[in-house]
Structure formats: C-alpha cells, structure tokens
Structure 1
Amino acid sequence: MEVTTSSVGILLVHGLGGTQYDLGMMGKILKRAGMDTHTLTLPGHAGQPEDLLGVTAEDWVEEVRAKYRELLPQYDTLHVMGMCMGALLAIEVVKQERHTKGRLIALAPPLYLDGWSTPWYRFLRYFVYRFMPNTTRTMKVEEEEPFGVKNELVRSIIKAKFARGDNFHYQWIPLYCVQQVDRLRKWVKEGLNNISCPTLLVHAREDELTSLRSSEFLLKEIGAQHAKLVVLENSYHMICVDNDRDQVAACVLEHLGCDPALVRPRKRRSDVVESEE
C-alpha cells in the first residue's frame, strides 16, 4: 500500500479480558483529530473466558507486533497506545521494534499488581504457579466492584452490563492469565532504556489494581528526556471511562500534537461505557 502524504495512524491495544471498551471514547476522539485508528482483538478475547486457557504472553506480544508491522509501512507516522495490559504490550512491542516513527502512550500500565484493592495474600499465587500448576487453569479471578471505576453512575452501568451478559468484558479470568501477565511484567521491566520515542504515561493516584509506583518506575527507566507522567486525582484504574476521562483524552491529544479542545463534553452519560466501534 502506498503511503499517504502526512498520514497518521495509531494502534490501540485493549487490556486483559477486555475489548475496545477499555479505551472508552478515545478512538472517536482520535478520529476527530484526523488520525486513522486501528484496533485488534488479542488472542483468547471476545469470546468466553475459557478461551484464554492455553494463550501465552508470547501470543499477545506477537499479535500486537504483527499488527504493528502490518501498519508501519502504511503511514508517515504511527503511534502506539495501550490500556492496562495493553499498555504493557505497547511498551514491549515499541521496545522490541525500536520504534521511532511515532509516539507511545501507556495508560494505567500494571507493572506492579499492588493497588489498594489487591488482597494481602496476592503473593501466594507464585506458590500456586510452582507447586499447583493445574490449579491455575481452574481457579477464577472474578471482576468485582468497584470494577476499576470511581464514578458511581458509570459503575452502576457496568454492573448492569455484566448482569445482562453484555460481551464488553469478561466477568472472570483464569489465574493462568494472571501468570501470563506476571511473565509479561518481567519482560517489560528489562531494557526500558532502549525506548527513545516520546512517551506519555497516565496513571491514577488511587488506582486500585496497580499503584503509581508502576508508572514512576517506567518514567525513571525510560528517562525523563523521553517520558512524561500525568497523575490523575479523581479516578481508579479504568481511566478512559472514569471521572478524569476528558483529562486523559486531552493529555493524549496534546502528546500527539493535536488540539486538546477536540475533547467535547458527553451528550449522554452512558457514552463513557460504549465501545469505540
């Protein structure tokens, strides 16, 4: 495919157990800014939680890497953005590919699973991985309130969607998947000084899944000359649909050299939990 003059594309990567819902209205806002948005469905997603069994961290990385390589020759500029586990995948692929043709945005990257709602016994999972490996396939990690959302209205909408069985996010994942994320987290921590593209990290101070320590570590290792951290004060983990969602969108637009004023107030409150596509 021929490259269009001054063309700009952006690859959006969703999180574990999720869909493009994880990114809220970001896709529409980026399209409004004149970018071509591209999404993908990670292996094991958009079906049933059982589909995740047997999918490895390598599978997720290679899927994002393949999509990145498909898009790269099509654009003058290609940005990469991910949310939650998608942020880790975006970082890892940008690092492996030595990406310099665009910018990186990592939203709520869970480099450490140490948020305020994570149970004190979370470290016992490593015992299960080593001594009870078959249990990782049968043990379920349930989605529970607050569902990563501080906004009570949005939380109630999410709860209703789960009750209806809407296919926007898995209601549980096998512990096996957390083990794969743990493997991914280890990879991401290594070689971060190889990232030289401008990088935006956005993290909520009250993130219940992963503390601010995650983004602070990334900022330090990537280096302040390449990375910037924006801290949100009124959200939990799902920052693209929570109270600070407009601030997130404005920060992303500014990072990408676009007008932050393109972020418009929502006409319908339920828009914040609708899919991009």
Structure 2
Amino acid sequence: MQDIFLIGHRPPVLLLHGLRGNPLEIQLLAQRLHRAGHTVSVPYLSGYGQRPGDCAPVLPWQQWESLASERLAALVADHGPAAVGGLCIGADLALRLARRDERSVSGLLLISTTLFYDGWNLPWFRRLLPLLPLAHPTPLRHRYRLREKDPYGIKNVRIREWIARQMESTGNSAAGARDLPLSAIYEAYRMMRRIRASLPDITQPALILHAAEDEMASLRTPNLLAGRLGSSRIEKIIFTNSYHMLTLDNDREGVTQACVAFVDALERQQQPAAAQLLA
C-alpha cells in the first residue's frame, strides 16, 4: 500500500484515495491513465488514510488539504499543471485543491463525491450528523468507531466477498479500512460544509461520476455539483451497476474509460492555449 507514481510523457494526473482508504482503491484507474501516456501520482496521506502499521491519529481536515497540496505542488513542479481527481472524500479534497491551487489544477475527476452522507445504507448514520459538533470537545469522537458493513460499497458479489475477507483478516482492504473513527467523520463533515459554500468559485472543467445506487451518498451530491460548480465545462455520468466504490465495482471499466477520455480532452484544450502563449 505504498504511493503509486507512474512516469509518462503526457500531462500529469493526481489521484486521491478516500477517507481511511489507501491507493489500492484507485490503482486500476492510475494504471489505465498511465497506459494512455500520463504521469500519475497516487499518494498515501497519513493521518487521513489508513493502512497496516500506520498508527497516526486522524488529522484535522485542513491538514489533509495541506498534505494533498504539497503532493500536487511537487507533481506540478516537475510535470506542469495536473488534472486532480479522487474517490469519495478524495474527490472532496480535489475540489478543495481546485479552489486553493487554482493555477495548478487543469481539471477535476470527481468519483463518488460525497458532500452529504445520505445514501440508502446509512439511515442510522444520518441521525448522528447533527450531533457531531457536540461531540467535538469530548473524548467520544476519539474513542467511538463505526464498523464498515455489507455491502462495503461493492455491488459485485465476488469482489465484495474478497473485500470482506481482507477486512476480517487485516482490518484493511482495497476498499478502505474496516473501522471509521468518529473523529474522521467529524472532520469530513466540516470540510463538506466548506466545499458546498465554495462550489461557484471552482471554475476548472469537471467530470462527475456517480452510482445511481451509491449507498454512502445519494444523487443529491452529483446534482448539486452539476448545478452549482462554476466550471467552464461539466460532464456528468451516472452508472447503474455499481455501489459507492466505482473504481472497483462492476462499472470500473466505464469509469476508467470516461476518465481517460476526459483527461485527453483537457490536453487537447490546453494545446491551443499553450501555442498562443508561445506565439
């Protein structure tokens, strides 16, 4: 579960894993983008992600953003402006980078973006959200953990069983960690509110990919993104044969194809602009 860094000859892509997740969640997408010629960076962010042997405490969301921004700056310094994407809260972080590091971000790959925890598998979870600010000053948010449960974000039964075995044996999997600390949810909740308020200020082209049956975040999120982003170009695709973990589930091939096509289009769009600057 180390960082993934693949050198190519075409514009770079930064991909961010989900909350308490790891780079394996988006490894297939990274490989397909690299096969198309792109330099791809998928960093593991300690204090935000989770992998065996990492005992780092959950960091405040502002530090998640700072860690991701540092990785973006290093990538851009060597390879130029990057398309930035992510899965779930990783997509939220991509939106934050687009606002914070505007000139470094050429476009957005927003996969299973979560700006509301309101999916069909979370009725009990939704009731906790109004209480999270009250839990902030107490030890509760550091001690309480929510355990992942079936279907683990996966509609494909075979892949779901594989993920369940990984979680049971190691506490981690290609779909993320088995346990989610309340403190991590609290920080994500705070970041979501900030992102929702800033959507009109985000102007980069955006690709929005979401599952119709996402059990973590309903179609309210992609609809909000499509309606409120200030992006110059927005594409939205809703997949019908997967749950939350789009990069691992039945529609993973469609997801990778859409991302490769979108990044290729970004490159074609940037070439005339670069030629004008050199003229």
Q: Give the TM-score normalised by the residue count of structure 2.
A: 0.84
AA of the residue aligned to 2:167: F
Corresponding residue for residue 19 of structure 1: 22
Equivalent runs, 1:179-258 vs 2, <5 Å: 179-223=186-230, 225-257=232-264
Which of the residues 149, 152, 160 maps onto 2:157?
Answer: 152
User: Using a 3 Å threshold, how does the CA distance of structure 1 residues 5 and 250 change in structure 2: closer, same or farther?
Assistant: closer
Report the alpha carbon displacement of residue 137 of structure 1 after superposing the two structures with TM.
1.0
Identity of aligned residues (%): 25
Report the alpha carbon displacement of residue 88 of structure 1 after superposing the two structures with TM.
0.1
Pairing 1:123–2:134 present: no
Corresponding residue for residue 269 of structure 1: none
Indicate conservation of the 8 Å contact 2:86/2:110, yes or no.
yes
Indicate conservation of the 8 Å contact 1:129/1:136, yes or no.
no
AA of the residue aligned to 1:40: P
User: Using a 3 Å threshold, how does the CA distance of structure 1 residues 141 and 101 change in structure 2: closer, same or farther?
Assistant: closer
Indicate conservation of the 8 Å contact 1:83/1:108, yes or no.
yes
Indicate conservation of the 8 Å contact 2:30/2:40, yes or no.
yes
Which of the residues 66, 70, 81 maps onto 1:66?
Answer: 70
Report the alpha carbon displacement of residue 48 of structure 1 after superposing the two structures with TM.
5.7
AA of the residue aligned to 2:111: L
C-alpha distance in 2 between matches for 1:224 and 1:195: 6
Corresponding residue for residue 147 of structure 2: 142
User: Using a 3 Å threshold, how does the CA distance of structure 1 residues 63 and 100 change in structure 2: closer, same or farther?
Assistant: closer
AA of the residue aligned to 2:14: L
Report the alpha carbon displacement of residue 119 of structure 1 after superposing the two structures with TM.
1.9
Report the alpha carbon displacement of residue 77 of structure 1 after superposing the two structures with TM.
4.1
Find the residue that maps to 2:106 and give its secondary structure.
coil
Corresponding residue for residue 165 of structure 1: 170
Find the residue that maps to 1:111 and give its secondary structure.
coil
AA of the residue aligned to 2:201: N
C-alpha distance in 1 between matches for 2:181 and 2:54: 8
Corresponding residue for residue 183 of structure 2: 176
Indicate conservation of the 8 Å contact 2:171/2:177, yes or no.
no
Which of the residues 10, 34, 39 maps onto 2:13?
Answer: 10
Q: Which has the higher contact order (CA 8 A, sep 6+)?
A: 1
Indicate conservation of the 8 Å contact 1:100/1:197, yes or no.
no
Indicate conservation of the 8 Å contact 1:8/1:35, yes or no.
yes
Find the residue that maps to 1:200 and give its secondary structure.
strand
C-alpha distance in 2 between matches for 1:75 and 1:9: 6
Pairing 1:83–2:87 present: yes
Corresponding residue for residue 34 of structure 1: 37
AA of the residue aligned to 2:106: G
Indicate conservation of the 8 Å contact 1:8/1:77, yes or no.
yes
Indicate conservation of the 8 Å contact 1:53/1:174, yes or no.
no
User: Using a 3 Å threshold, how does the CA distance of structure 1 residues 78 and 127 change in structure 2: closer, same or farther?
Assistant: closer
- The gaps in structure 1 that reach 5 residues or longer are 259-277
AA of the residue aligned to 1:175: L
AA of the residue aligned to 1:157: W
User: Using a 3 Å threshold, how does the CA distance of structure 1 residues 49 and 182 change in structure 2: closer, same or farther?
Assistant: farther
Deviation readout 1:123-143 (Å, 9 max, x if unpaired): 334325315721111111101
Which of the residues 104, 108, 112 maps onto 1:108?
Answer: 112
AA of the residue aligned to 1:178: I
Find the residue that maps to 1:102 and give its secondary structure.
strand
User: Using a 3 Å threshold, how does the CA distance of structure 1 residues 29 and 88 change in structure 2: closer, same or farther?
Assistant: same
Report the alpha carbon displacement of residue 167 of structure 1 after superposing the two structures with TM.
4.3
AA of the residue aligned to 1:155: R
C-alpha distance in 2 between matches for 1:5 and 1:109: 27
Indicate conservation of the 8 Å contact 2:112/2:211, yes or no.
yes
Matched residue pairs, number? 255
